[in-house]
Amino acid sequence: MPIWGMVLSALAEIRTSKVRVTLSLLCVSALVAVVTLAIALGGLAQQSLVQVFEQQVGRPVTLTMEGPPSTQGMSMMSDGVITRIESDLRRYRVVGSPLGTTQQISYRQVLPGGTRPIKGSEDQGGQLNTIGADPELDRIRRFQLASGRWLAPVDSQRFEPQLVVSKKFADQLGPDPFGAVIEIAAPRKWVRARVVGVLSGGTPWSPTEIFMPYRAMVRWQLGVESTSYVVRVPKGQADAVKDQLKLDAARSWGLGSVMIHRDEGDTGFISGTMGKVLVGSAVFLLILGSLPVLVLGLMAVRQRRSELGVQRCFGATGSDLFLTVLLEALIVSCAGGLLGIGSVYAISGPLFDVLSHRGPFAEAELSATFPWRAALLGMGVAVCVGLFTGLIPALRAMRRSVIQAIRS
């Protein structure tokens, strides 16, 4: 029997067995929809995890160097030590930045009629997190700007500090925070600063952050409570650079024993674990969702014993019957797969928009687009279901003898 004849025979059986085909179609479409949605959400979660980690800690591989603790137990490095570190890091050809942090600085906005104090997050006691860094920090961490720009090298030399603030801080400055004039409480005076950039994203529990050049914090004696130094290095050189930094800290920088954290791999481990869970869930759903379709296929072959015997009498071989039944299962499964993927695509826009902007992935600022990789995997699941549920009925149809069919 030619292949087009097998296809026509399969389509004729599909038109005849409407109830069975409808049930199989619904089972396959539901299975493919669940698998496609699970893969899409899993990919969104993995992407969110990586981006949030890179925002808060750094891109792979980030080394965080902490000096000896102060009397309050915080890591401290003097301005002279930071200068020596930056000078020596030129030999490594890596990107680095100091991180000076404090929560003891007060801010107020300059308005035409006076000034207005700026407060931090209520769930964090109204504290404002001030972070002094070099412009290279945006090459170490992932920053997304809603407006304006990130810190530039020339900002370290400006008399007026340039600020890049989080969305929570910017929301208190009015509808147009870019270019707003801010005053910072220095030890003996208020220092005038200007907002040059606003970070996007954030969640209700995110801290209120202000980034400024590290040298500006030192120049105006803004009371750095904790100082560390972060370095981004190639993955293959991470261990060598880490060992060299420890040697330089003891010999050249006068820090003695320092702690260096290699911040990278938790995301890889968690993403790998999530991937294994998704694969296991997909296999479980594949087996569980295929059983009803398999039972329906076996019942159909049993009911078609006479028809299969007649086809054998008219010259159809066992291979012809095998391919006809298998093609029927594949056609139904592929149609169900397209239906399931189409249903997920229809709801993916509003669902991903909620998750990306107002849900648990809001901090990562993900793009709410339908992942076509999940659609391809879902279609692959549909094909696997068709092969799995059509193989056993096709084998039974191939083994059907003419004598048994006549007796039945």
Tokens of 134: 């070099």
pLDDT at 203: 63
pLDDT in tens, 186-236: 988 999 999 999 998 766 677 889 999 999 998 998 888 888 899 988 888
- Outline where 130-223 has alpha helix (H): 137-140, 167-171, 214-219
Q: Identify the pLDDT of residue 148.
A: 93
Question: Rounded mean pLDDT of 265-290?
Answer: 67
Share of the chain above pLDDT 70, in %: 77
How many CB atoms are located within 10 Å of the residue 408 CB?
11
| Residues 248-253, mean pLDDT to the nearest whole number | 80
Cα separation, 108 vs 173, in Å, equals: 10
User: Quick one: tokens of 184?
Assistant: 């910072």
Residue 142: pLDDT band with limits 50, 70, 90:
confident
Whether 2 has a pLDDT exceeding 70, the answer reads: no
Sort residue 174 into left (φ over 0), alpha (ψ -120 to 50) or beta: left
Q: Are 151 and 135 in contact (CB under 8 A)?
A: yes
Q: What is the DSSP letter of 160?
A: S
Amino acid identity, position 111: L
Structure tokens at 300: 């159909």
Amino acid at 217: M
pLDDT at 363 over 60: no
When pLDDT is cut at 50, 70 and 90, the band that residue 87 belongs to is confident
On the question of pLDDT at 299 being above 70, the answer is yes
The two three-digit tokens of residue 181, written as one number:
């004039």
Can you tell me the distance from the alpha carbon of 153 to that of 71, in angstroms, rounded to the nearest whole number? Answer: 33
Rounded to whole angstroms, how far apart are CA atoms 214 and 67? 17
Quote the CA–CA distance of 23 and 327 in Å, as a whole number: 17
Q: Distances in Å between the alpha carbon of 38 and those of 42, 50, 352?
A: 6, 18, 12
Mean pLDDT of the chain, nearest integer? 80
pLDDT value of residue 265: 53
Q: Please answer whether residues 385 and 25 qualify as being in contact, where contact means their C-beta atoms are separated by less than 8 angstroms.
A: no
Q: What is the pLDDT of residue 180?
A: 93
Q: Say how far apart CA 197 and CA 117 lie, in whole Å.
A: 20
**HEC states along 259-302?**
EEEEECCHHHHHHHHHHHHHHHHHHHHHHHHHHHHHHHHHHHHH
pLDDT of residue 401: 61
Residue 82 pLDDT level (bands cut at 50, 70, 90): confident
Closest of 336, 385, 346 to residue 23, by C-alpha: 336
* pLDDT (0 to 100) of residue 190: 94
Buried b or exposed e, range 35-47, using 16+ CB within 10 angstroms: bbbbbbbbbbbbb
**Average pLDDT in the 75-102 region?**
84
pLDDT confidence tier of residue 326, bands split at 50, 70 and 90: confident
Mean pLDDT of 272-288: 71
Q: Which residues of 171-199 are buried (b: 16+ CB within 10 A; e: fewer)?
A: ebbeeebbebebbbbbeeeebebebbbbb
The pLDDT of residue 408: 56
Q: What is the pLDDT of residues 342-354, one digit of tens each?
A: 888 888 877 777 7
For range 287-311, the mean pLDDT: 70
Among candidates 165, 201, 202, 171, which has minimal Cα distance to 184? 165
Is 230 in contact with 65 (CB distance < 8 Å)? yes
> In this predicted model, what pLDDT tens digit does every residue of 92-136 receive, in sequence order?
788 899 999 998 899 999 998 889 999 887 665 578 999 999 999
Mean pLDDT for 348-371 is 66
